[in-house]
Each structure stands twice: as structure tokens, then as C-alpha cells.
Structure 1
Amino acid sequence: MALMDETRSVVTRTGRFVNEVISFIIFSILDILDFILCYTFKVLDFVVEAEWKPCYCSSAKEAITSSGKILVSEQGGSKKIVCLSSSKIQLEEISDTLYTRPSLVSEVSKSTFKEIKKLKVETTTMIQSCEKIKKGRVRSSSTFTVNSTIVEMLQGKVGQVQSQHCIIPRWSDCDCNTCNSWSSSCKDTLFVKVDGARDNVQEDVIFIHGFISSSAFWTETLFPNFSESAKSKYRFLAFDLLGFGRSPKPTDSLYTLGEHLNMIERSVLESHKVKSFHIVAHSLGCILALALAVKYKGSVKSLTLLAPPYFPAPEGENATQYMMRRVAPRRIWPLISFGTSIACWYEHISRTICLLICKNHRIWEFIAKVVTRNRIRTYLMEGFWCHTHNAAWHTLHNIICGTAAKIEGYLDKVKNNMKCSVTIFHGRYDEVIPVECSYNVQAKVPRANVKVIENKDHITIVVGRQKAFARELEEIWKNASD
């Protein structure tokens, strides 16, 4: 037995070493490829659209405009944009992971000298701090920097009417009726699917889908499986997030937390006159659910989170960068880690993938129907196809990574300022968001009930067990009401 354990340990260590070596080679090549694609897309954008398109490869620079707009990000802290104009643009938080993503080679180089520099930095900091205290000059830094791409993207938004260019899809985005139907409508609201009670609504239930998905994740699985009793009592509202499915996909949006919440409030809460409600959210949607619950703490009856992405950053670590490394570790195995790493680290490679898949989704839909002989509903694939690179890229960084430092505050407010029930579901074999994340949430909110579902992953926690999950949700809502 001891020999078998030792052999297994050796095999595991060998496999991990091989994975790290191959990953280093592959991602080093991808660093170079993304650099080449950066200039390739600049040329293509200029040829097709007659203007250069900003990207996040450019270095950060100081930016204070002369038109009353100040767009800055605090050096060494959370990156923010302050826009001062008559349009009263709110303070929007922008994730530094949008433009601070060191290459694998540079990270290895830095780690080599990390320990050598550590003592020097600590000593220098201590000396400088003592000198400032002696001279009475201790004050916060007034130096601000911002990535030039953010400035360019916001210049057309502040104090101006949205241009037609922001409505027309880019050449690399799909322009079919499904993806672009919102641009011909006068209503700038999310696509919302309503089911359940109509006339005698007792309570509402809001469903928030995850990253690169759509409302179909709920409407095709849970909605048909709720009991008649639940359908007569609850009104179900599932919507496509900004930039996904059949919802608006503005090309000038930075897809910040504020923009997402604003659209949810306008399209769901206000449009449907929602007062008291339950929330069910999956993955990325859990972050939006927490932010929404904290803002409407007196109206939330229950909070159900599926695979919440909560990685508490160790002391001294940058929360956004730590979150990015945990979600996208730049490893070729497991394959899901390889996919998330491509989406998170490589702006131009991920745009190329969107060009090949999303823009041509009608072809892939046809192939899927031929292969399956039209026997299955491809709603999961449709949710994956119907988005733009701009929406996916900014939502990933500004919501998943950018809110890493905020989630802890949200959980504290759920714990101390709210009385709603909190239930967490997680698939045992979830390779996207590990089970530890749910227990991290429970550590912050002790009353949270964690249910780990055996033999299920990030998707099959709902898909494939929709009937059982529908019953579990009904029980949660019933207990919350009682």
C-alpha cells in the first residue's frame, strides 16, 4: 500500500511538472501571437472602418483632459475613472487587469529576483516612512495614471449623444437579426423572459445567468419543470445580461458593474414593478446578485447562489490580479483552465476566436443540427455564440476580476444587514470555480447553507438535474416566505 501511494505521488508530481513545462512553452508562444494579432487587427480595423481601434496593449499614461473631464486611476490602488461633466457620469471602477497582464516570460523573470529585491524594498520603505514621519509630510499620493484606451472609449460617451457608430456592430461582430435586433428598437433595455404567475403575483423570482450564457440557461431547464403551484404563485423573470444573448451590445460600453446593475434595475425591477423578490444566480451572476441584494436589502426574500466565484486574496496581494490568476491559471490542463486563460489573458486571440465562432454562429448552428439530426435543443451553444468580444472581454475583467475586492464587503453586508436566507449549490467536480469558493462564502456568512452536489460540474449542477433543482428552489422560497 505504501509503495502504491509513493508511486501515485511520483506520477502526480511528474504530471504536474510536465503540465507546467508545456504550459510555459504554449503560453509563451501565445504571448507572441497576441502581440502580432494586435497590429493585424489595427490594420484590419483601419482598412474596414477607416479608423484605428483602441486596445489595452498600450501603456498607462497620465490623462487630464481640458474639457472638464478627468479620467484617472489611483496608482497602486483600485483603478477608477472620474468623469466630471454636465451629464453626471457616475464614478465607474475599472479593473486594472484590463491593461496589466504580464507575459509568462516576464513573470518568471520577476519571480527569479523577487526574493533578492524583497529585503531591499522593505528596508527602503521603512527608511522613507521614518523620514516622512520626522518631517511631518505623511500624505496620500496625488499621482494618477490611466490607460489611454479607456480615455478613448469614454471620450464619445461623456456629455455627448450616443453616435450611430456605437450602434452599428463592428466588422468582426455578427450582424444577424438575433444579435443586432436591439439596435432597431427604441427601447434600450435588456431582453427579459417572463413566465409563471401573471395576474395574481405573490412574489417575484429573478434569475441571473453566468458568463457567456443567456436567459435560456434557466428558461430551457427550470421554467418547464416548476410545479403548477409555483407557477400560480411566483412570477419568474430571466434576462440576458448586457452584451449577451438578445440584449443590447453597445460597442462603446465598458460593461462595468454600474452599467450592468443599471440595466437590470431599468429592465427588470422598474419595468415589471418588482417589489419583493428572490434571487437565483449562477457563476458570474452571483457577483451581480450580491450587489443587487445589498442595494435592495429590504426587498430580497432569499438568495440562492450557484458556484459563486469568491477567492479571498491573501494579505498583501492585489485582489484583482489574484482573482485573475485563480480563474485563469495559464495551464493547458484541465482544458477548461486553458479556455479561461485564453479568454482572460489574450485580448486579440480571444477576439479572433469570437470572429471565428460568434460572427459565424449561423454556420455552426447548422452544423450542430446536422450532426445531432436536430434531436437536441442547442440553447447552451446559442448562449455561447450570441455575444461580442467587447462585451465578453470587459465583463470578464470588470465584473469577475474587478469586483474581487468588493465581494468581501458585499458578504459582510449580507451577514450583518440582511435577514434573507442564503443557500449555495456547488458541483463536486466543478473545474471552473472550485468547491472551496462556496465554503469561503459560508465562512463570511455563517448562516449560508452549502449543498455540494456529487458527480456534477459547473453546468450539470443545473442541466441534467433540472427537475430536482426546481423542487429544491421551491422549497427554499416556501421556507423563506414562511
Structure 2
Amino acid sequence: MPKWLTTASQFLISSLSFITFFFLDFLDFLFCIYFYYIDGFLEGKSTPCYCKTGNEDKKSEHEVSETLYLRKNVFRKIRFVRKYENLQENEIGLVGNRWSDCGCESCVAWMMNADHRLFVAVNHASQASLELVHAKPAEDVLFLHGFLSSSEFWTRSIFPEFSEDNYRLFAMDLLGFGRSPKPRACLYTLRDHLEMIEESVMCPFQLKSFHLVAHSMGCVIALALAAKYPDTVKSVTLVAPPYFPSSSIDAGTVALERLAGKSLWPPILFGSAVMTWYEHLGRCVCFFICRNHRTWEKILKLFTRKRDLLQMLENVTQHTHHSAWHTMHNVICGGAKNMDEYLETIRKSGVKITVIQGSRDQVVPLECSNNIKTKVPDADVRVIANADHGSVILGRSQDFARDLESIWASTADTRVQG
């Protein structure tokens, strides 16, 4: 291709990208005003947002990601918008959905749970099995799902591949997702997620030692949990971990740019950018898709009977905008600055780390797995050919289960030799 044609193509793409995101900046600014008034009208008070800049909550500065406030929008520089940016923080109730959230039975069922614990599935059994703590198997394993997913990511694909006599497998809907609580007063920080796992799984089931298996966003939570309990965790298996070296003070911004940079291509990255950079546009998308998920499910059933598609739709819609928005920023971006510390703690404790990622992953760059190998030389990194972000597990459930058994067995052998 001639050099001038390449230059012209790059200029065209850059221009189109600039125009698109300039327009989205303007739309988000308009919806900021819209939600300010409509929330006040329908709920009696306006919901605080993060359109203001430089006014971070200093009480939570180590837990709340700076990316919530430092997302660039050209219209925030306009003086007119300041009267909407400088909203007074107000109290938001713990229980109760926004008017823009889904109010169907499955989405509000958690409100009937008096203790507000996570939904936990054990060995693909019914919820009644949560009361059974006797007959503990030889190995306990905690599975953590990724962003916009739920425990069914594991229970439908991986759990059936194991014998219930050999392992006790726990898969939970993380805070804010699936059938777990979605409190409006919560900022969904790493601490919030860890405390809920402790209260919902570790304490009730009296876990003394366990393996960790995590996918995508769940890898950040898994590393934080393993660093907090290095003498309790036997092994950590990370699938497509979003890890970038966090030596710089703007680690959260680096993670934001690499995982959800403002780009028109590929489509999955463009969608991530819209939902991550634009608080109010993201809320509109959730209102259109998540609030009406029952309708979309019925429409999908008319055209297809594929359970995988229906499951994917259910997983993508089982959250509120508040829970997804804060988890994205405060866990994935906010946790970036702590990842080096977590990995160093785990490395020193001798916990086995295995990293698995698909060679065609378009969500998490393949370099993330290599970054972990650089930070922890003893880590076992495996790249699965022709697998993407989801099919690295869902497309090879049986092989993945056998890989896990091999990892857990090698951990036991190491302990025996030690």
C-alpha cells in the first residue's frame, strides 16, 4: 500500500474517532442534566455523579479509583456545566432500585435476603446445600467470575466436569452481579468485594484452605484475596488477568486506556469505551437493555433455542448500572495500583500461580499474562491457541477441568515433598 494512502487512511480513522467521541462527550453532558432533573422528580432527590473533577472523596482515596473523576470530557470545561457538576453529595438508601433499574422478581429477590449475603452455588447443587457443612471433601475451590457475568459461568460449564466426592466447589455471584445484593450505598471497592466473600463463603463454610480460580475481572479480586490470606490459599489460577505493571502513580488510568481506550475498532473495545468513559450514556444503555431484559429474552427465544445465548444475555443484564460502573472503575482500574504488591506477597509466600489465556483474546491484551511472568518468574503461563476471552474456558470445558486437576495435584505433591 502506498505511503500516502496509509497516511490518508490513518487521518480518516483519527478524524472519524475524534468526531464520534466528541459527539458522545456532548451526549453524556446532556444526559447528565437530564438525569439530574428526572432523578429529582421521580425519586425526590438527585443522584450524585462523577462529572465534577478534582473533588475526590479524600476519606476513600485509597479505595476509590481516580478514573471515576479523571475521565476527559471536553464539555466539562464549559463554565455553564459547573452548576451541575458541583452537586451536593446526599444519602442514598441501601435497599431499593433506581427507577431506571429492572424491578422484576429475579432482580429484586436479594432484597428479601435479610443478611444480604452473596448468592453461592456449591458443587452445582441447589441452594439448600448451603446449609450442609458436614462431610467436607478433600479440596475446596473458590471460583470468581468476570465482569458482567455470574456464578453460572462456572456452574454450567466447569462444575459438571468434577466429581462431588473429590472437591467442594464454590461459585458465587460477586457483589452487584447475578442474584447477589446490589446496594445503592455501596461503592463496590475491592474491600467491599473481599468482605462479602469472607462473610458469605469463608466464614459460613469454615474454609481453612482452598484453591482460587478466576476469570478476567475476578483475577483482580482473587489476587487481593490471596495476598490477604497467603497461608490459606493453596494455588491461584488466573484466566485472562487484566494486569499491567503498577509502578506508576497513574496505574488506574493506564488500565483504563489499555482495556477500554477510546477506539472505534474492534466493536467490543468501542462498547467497553462507551460504558466505561460515559457514566450517563452507560446508564441509558443499562436502562434500554437491562431494565427490559425480560422482553429481550422473550424475543431471543422466538428466534433461537440456544441456551448459551440465553445464558449470555442473562449474565450481561444481571446487574445495575451503579454496581457495574463502580466495579469497573474501583476494582479493575482502582485495583491496578495494588497488583504489584499483591503479586509480590503471593510470590514470597510460595503460592503456585498459573495463568491461562487465549491467543485471540480481544478483551485483555496477551501482554498481561506475560507481565505476570515477568513479575513472578515461577508463574506457569499457558497460551491456548485460537481461543478468545470466553472460549478459553467455555470452548474447552473438559480440558480446562483436567488442567485444574493437574494444577491442584501438583500443589499437593509440592506440599508432601516440603
1:190 aligned residue: 118
Distance 1:448 1:11, change over 3 A: farther
C-alpha deviation, 1:376, in angstroms: 4.7
Kindly indicate whether residue 331 of structure 2 is the aligned counterpart of residue 399 of structure 1.
yes
**Partner deviation per Cα, 1:22-80 (whole Å, 9 max, x = no partner):** 11110010000000001111121122112111111124449xxxxxxxx526xxxxxx3
Letter of the aligned partner of 2:193 in structure 1? H
C-alpha deviation, 1:103, in angstroms: 2.4
C-alpha deviation, 1:367, in angstroms: 1.2
**Partner deviation per Cα, 1:233-252 (whole Å, 9 max, x = no partner):** 11000000100000000011
C-alpha deviation, 1:389, in angstroms: 0.3
**Which residue, out of 345, 353, 357, partners 1:422?**
353
2:256 aligned residue: 324
Unaligned runs of 5+ in 2: 78-84, 126-133, 414-418
Question: Could you tell me how far apart the structure 2 residues matched to 1:433 and 1:390 are?
Answer: 23
**Which residue, out of 427, 432, 437, partners 2:368?**
437
**Residues 210 and 282 in structure 1, CA contact (< 8 A), matched pair in contact too:** yes
Letter of the aligned partner of 2:299 in structure 1? I
Question: Could you tell me how far apart the structure 2 residues matched to 1:181 and 1:464 are?
Answer: 32
- Mapping for residues 152-231 of structure 1, pairs under 5 Å: 152=89, 165-195=93-123, 199-226=135-162, 228=163, 231=164
**Which residue, out of 32, 41, 56, partners 1:38?**
32
**Partner deviation per Cα, 1:129-172 (whole Å, 9 max, x = no partner):** xxxxxxxxxxxxxxxxxx977x825x56xxxxxxxx42111100
Distance 1:196 1:432, change over 3 A: closer
Name the % identity. 45
C-alpha deviation, 1:413, in angstroms: 1.0
Letter of the aligned partner of 2:89 in structure 1? E
Give the number of aligned pairs.
Answer: 398
1:72 aligned residue: 58
Kindly indicate whether residue 403 of structure 2 is the aligned counterpart of residue 472 of structure 1.
yes
Distance 1:104 1:12, change over 3 A: farther
- Mapping for residues 343-422 of structure 1, pairs under 5 Å: 343-373=275-305, 376=308, 378-416=310-348, 418-422=349-353
Question: Could you tell me how far apart the structure 2 residues matched to 1:321 and 1:212 are?
Answer: 21
**Partner deviation per Cα, 1:169-199 (whole Å, 9 max, x = no partner):** 1100111111111111212100000017972
**Which residue, out of 13, 17, 21, partners 2:15?**
21
1:237 aligned residue: 170
Kindly indicate whether residue 214 of structure 2 is the aligned counterpart of residue 281 of structure 1.
yes
1:270 aligned residue: 203
**Residues 313 and 323 in structure 1, CA contact (< 8 A), matched pair in contact too:** no
Distance 1:204 1:354, change over 3 A: same
C-alpha deviation, 1:9, in angstroms: 8.1
User: The residue matched to 1:446 in structure 2 has which SS?
Assistant: coil
2:129 aligned residue: none
**Residues 136 and 168 in structure 2, CA contact (< 8 A), matched pair in contact too:** no
C-alpha root-mean-square deviation of aligned residues, in Å? Answer: 2.3
User: The residue matched to 2:238 in structure 1 has which SS?
Assistant: strand
Distance 1:221 1:196, change over 3 A: closer
**Residues 244 and 255 in structure 2, CA contact (< 8 A), matched pair in contact too:** yes
User: The residue matched to 1:152 in structure 2 has which SS?
Assistant: coil
Letter of the aligned partner of 2:156 in structure 1? E
**Residues 26 and 75 in structure 2, CA contact (< 8 A), matched pair in contact too:** no
Question: Could you tell me how far apart the structure 2 residues matched to 1:429 and 1:13 are?
Answer: 27
TM-score, with normalisation over the residues of structure 1? 0.78
Q: Could you list the runs of 4 or more consecutive aligned residues of structure 1 that deviate by over 4 angstroms after TM superposition? A: 8-17, 104-107, 374-377
2:65 aligned residue: 95
Letter of the aligned partner of 2:204 in structure 1? S
TM-score, with normalisation over the residues of structure 2? 0.90
Greater C-alpha radius of gyration:
1
1:307 aligned residue: 240
Question: Could you tell me how far apart the structure 2 residues matched to 1:313 and 1:8 are?
Answer: 40
Unaligned runs of 5+ in 1: 1-6, 63-70, 74-79, 82-91, 108-146, 157-164
Letter of the aligned partner of 1:438 in structure 2? S
Distance 1:451 1:104, change over 3 A: farther
**Residues 191 and 247 in structure 1, CA contact (< 8 A), matched pair in contact too:** yes
Distance 1:16 1:480, change over 3 A: farther
Question: Could you tell me how far apart the structure 2 residues matched to 1:376 and 1:313 are?
Answer: 36
